[in-house]
Chains A and B, each alone.
Chain A
Amino acid sequence: MTTLTDTVPANTALIDEARPADLPRQVLVENDRDFDWITNKICGIVEAKTPTWWWIAFTLSAFVSLFTVFGIIYLVSTGVGVWGLADPVNWGWAIVNFVFWIGIGHAGTLISAILCLLRQKWRTSINRAAEAMTVFAVVCAGIFPLIHVGRVWFAWWLFPIPNSNAIWPNFRSPLLWDVFAVSTYGTVSFLFWYVGMIPDLATIRDRAKTKIRKIAYGIFAMGWRGSNRHWRNYEMTYLLLAGLSTPLVLSVHTVVSFDFAVSLIPGWHTTIFPPYFVAGAIFSGFGMVLTLMLPLRSIYGLHDLITQYHIDCMCKILLATGTMVGYAYMMEFFIAWYGANEFEAFAFVNRAFGPYAWSYWIMISCNVIAPQFFWFKKIRQNPMIVWIVCIFVNIGMWFERFVITVTSLSRDFLPSSWGYYSPTIVDVFTYVGTFGIFMFLFLLFLRFLPLMPMGEIKAVMPQADPHHGKNHH
Chain B
Amino acid sequence: MSTSSENNGETFALIAEFENPGAIMAAAEKVRDAGFKNWDVITPFPVHGMDQAMGLSRSKIPIVAFCGGVAGFTLGMSMVYYMNKVDYPLVVGGMPYFSPVFPFPVAYELTILFAAIGSIISMFLFNSLPMHHHPTLNYEQIEKASNDRYFIVIESSDPNFDETKTPDLLKDIGGSNIGKLKD
Contact = CB atoms under 8 A, between A and B. Distances in A.
A166 interface: yes
Q: Is the interface of A mostly helix, strand, loop or mixed?
A: helix
A232 B42 contact: no
DSSP class of B's interface residues: helix, strand, loop or mixed? Answer: helix
A206 to B, nearest CB: 4
A225 B141 CA distance: 12
Interface stretch (A31-39, A347-355, A361-369, A414-422): A31-39
B47 A228 contact: yes
Contact of B40 (A166, A228, A456): A228
A34 B45 CA distance: 14
A469 B22 CA distance: 9
B105 A455 contact: no
A177 B101 CA distance: 12
Interface string B34-58: 0000001111111111110010101
Contact of A222 (B22, B87, B124): B124
Interface residues of B, number: 68
A456 B45 contact: yes
B146 A171 contact: no
A244 interface: yes
A176 to B, nearest CB: 7
A188 B69 CA distance: 13
Contact of A195 (B43, B44, B109, B120): B120
Nearest to B83: A168
A224 B129 contact: yes
A171 B92 CA distance: 10
B143 interface: yes
Interface in B93-137: 93, 95, 102-103, 105-106, 108-110, 112-113, 115-117, 119-120, 122-124, 126-127, 129-134, 136-137
A171 B103 contact: yes
Contacts of B25: 466
Contacts of A467: 22
Interface residues of A, number: 68
Interface string A211-245: 00000001100111111111111111100110011
Kindly list the 3 A-B residue pairs having the minimum CB-CB distance in the complex, ordered from nearest: A35-B148, A168-B83, A236-B59
Interface of A: 34-36, 39, 160, 166-172, 174, 176-177, 180-181, 184, 187-188, 191-192, 195, 199, 202-203, 206-207, 218-219, 222-237, 240-241, 244-245, 247-248, 251, 255, 258, 454-456, 458-459, 463-470
23 contacts: A171-B80, A172-B84, A172-B93, A172-B102, A181-B109, A184-B112, A188-B113, A207-B147, A226-B42, A227-B40, A227-B136, A228-B47, A229-B56, A231-B46, A234-B46, A241-B120, A247-B108, A251-B105, A455-B45, A464-B47, A466-B49, A467-B22, A470-B22
